[in-house]
């Protein structure tokens, strides 16, 4: 008989480091790649792996995220499949989720109702492709209580990740350390470490017992990576799954093993730029493992005007449906649906979200422009960073970020 698996997606993150993009929405609900939302990537991976009973635990500013899931992610109810958002229900008292482990503890009724053999617990705000069935199979074969997905990173970058320290067999986890400065390399690669991807597979009983014990500890932060995994590591019941071994159909050598945590404005911007190359660092055009979404019934993109000084064109860019490029130039950019870029304007190295209007002779350079922003004629964004810092958010790397519906001054 096939094993029963329930997937839990942790989507309650506030996303403070992505402000102002998260001023009006939860981090997993932030648009990405023109037509998608961040959460579409983890849900597509789970669906691609055949796991079709999925609960999404939400909390902060979840309306936009809940609406997207409800409208987009509809499974066959005849077969008992579902994707359902579950907000903090205060089943154990008048309080919010105190952390990711507490979110699962407060939602144990979902596990008890489904009675799975194994529980997948994945994050909702990473950009990657993964076949989770291969990880589940590895977990079952290992007999461990929990398996943690690890991605190989240079040892010199250990202070940027939660690091998985493994034993001589390269599988059993000896320690789970948060951003250590000094750490041993891997047994088969001394210059590499395992960084935690925030994806876990649990044997159901072990997960329920762990989050229940954690809930009784007043000193715990009730965090999956900070408390639950170290608890099981100390018992010798935790294994690592090497993401390098995950074989996704249709992957290219260039994007195989790609994974990005887009929790900061600069990483969010860089992940978008990864999409625009002729041979993308992350390939959205892999139809053997598609990323599913629903972006509405927009008409095709259109490029108009063909005179020498008023030529509508886009180079090394991703242009979504409903976009009109009118006598203007778009370079190395990701343009979302229902955007209009008007004559003699220039958009370069930027992310334009749905409904943005770029006026004539405007310049937008190295910027993220959130939904429904109207950029007036002749305005300049990303040209004078000192001036931009007085009006907008500017990231550490100099990316100008304009919030949803924000007014643009000349």
Give the annotated binding-site residues for alpha-D-glucose 1-phosphate: 162, 178-179, 196
C-alpha span between 194 and 47 (Å, rounded): 26
Tell me if 212 sits within 8 A of 105, measured CB to CB. yes
C-alpha span between 375 and 410 (Å, rounded): 9
What's the CA angle centered on 207, arms 204 and 210, to 5 degrees? 145
C-alpha span between 119 and 203 (Å, rounded): 6
Backbone angles phi, psi at 197, to 5 degrees: -90, -5
Backbone angles phi, psi at 120, to 5 degrees: -90, 130
Q: Is 217 helix (H, G, I), strand (E, B) or coil?
A: coil
Give, in order, the Cα–Cα distances in Å from 23 to each of 29, 235, 353: 11, 41, 15
Run of H or E residues at 132 = helix 132-142
Omega before 20 within 30 of 0, i.e. cis: yes
Name the token pair of 79.
């077969």
C-alpha span between 242 and 46 (Å, rounded): 18
Q: What is the largest CA-CA distance in the chain?
A: 71
Q: Is 32 helix (H, G, I), strand (E, B) or coil?
A: strand
Q: 327-350 burial by CB neighbour count: b if 16+ within 10 A, else e?
A: bbbbbbbbbbbbbbbbbbbbbbbb
| Cβ neighbours, 10 Å, residue 279 | 9
Could you give the count of Cα atoms lying within 13 Å of 122 in the half-sphere of its Cβ? 34
Task: Please give the distance of CA 344 from its chain centroid, rounded to a whole number.
Answer: 35
Instruction: Name the one residue in this structure whose structure tokens are 């950009």.
Output: 127
Give the residue ranges of the annotated binding site. 162, 178-179, 196
Q: Cα dihedral angle (36, 41, 45, 46), rounded to 10 degrees?
A: -90
């Amino acid at each position: 008989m096939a094993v029963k698996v329930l997937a839990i997606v942790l989507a309650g993150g506030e996303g403070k480091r992505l402000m102002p993009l998260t001023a009006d929405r939860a981090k997993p609900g932030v648009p990405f790649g023109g037509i998608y939302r961040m959460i579409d990537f983890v849900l597509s991976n789970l669906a691609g792996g055949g796991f079709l009973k999925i609960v999404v635990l939400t909390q902060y500013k979840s309306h936009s995220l809940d609406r997207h899931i409800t409208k987009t992610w509809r499974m066959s109810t005849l077969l008992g499949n579902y994707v359902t958002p579950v907000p903090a229900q205060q089943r154990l008292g008048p309080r919010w989720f105190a952390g990711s482990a507490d979110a699962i503890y407060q939602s144990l009724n979902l596990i008890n109702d489904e009675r799975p053999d194994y529980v997948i617990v994945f994050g909702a705000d990473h950009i990657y492709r993964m076949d989770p069935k291969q990880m589940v199979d590895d977990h079952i074969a290992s007999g461990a209580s929990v398996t943690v997905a690890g991605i190989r990173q240079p040892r010199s970058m250990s202070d940027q990740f939660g690091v998985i320290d493994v034993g001589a067999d390269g599988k059993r986890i000896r320690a789970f350390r948060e951003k250590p400065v000094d750490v041993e390399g891997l047994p088969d690669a001394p210059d590499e470490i395992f960084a935690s991807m925030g994806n876990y597979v649990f044997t159901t009983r072990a997960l329920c017992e762990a989050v229940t014990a954690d809930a009784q500890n007043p000193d715990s932060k009730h965090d999956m990576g900070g408390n639950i995994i170290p608890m099981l590591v100390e018992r010798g019941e935790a294994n690592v799954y090497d993401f390098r071994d995950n074989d996704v159909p249709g992957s290219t050598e260039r994007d195989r093993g790609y994974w990005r945590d887009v929790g900061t404005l600069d990483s969010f911007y860089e992940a978008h730029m990864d999409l625009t190359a002729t041979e993308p660092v992350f390939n959205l055009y892999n139809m053997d493992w598609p990323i599913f979404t629903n972006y509405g019934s927009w008409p095709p993109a259109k490029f108009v005007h063909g005179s020498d000084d008023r030529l509508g064109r886009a180079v090394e860019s991703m242009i979504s449906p409903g976009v009109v490029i009118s006598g203007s130039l778009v370079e190395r950019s990701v343009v979302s649906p229902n955007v209009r870029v008007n004559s003699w304007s220039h958009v370069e190295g930027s992310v334009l979200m749905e409904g943005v209007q770029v006026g004539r002779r405007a310049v937008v350079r190295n910027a993220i422009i959130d939904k429904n922003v109207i950029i007036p004629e002749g305005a300049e964004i990303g040209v004078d960073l000192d001036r931009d810092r007085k009006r907008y958010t500017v990231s550490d790397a100099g990316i100008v970020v304009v919030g949803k519906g924000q007014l643009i001054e000349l």
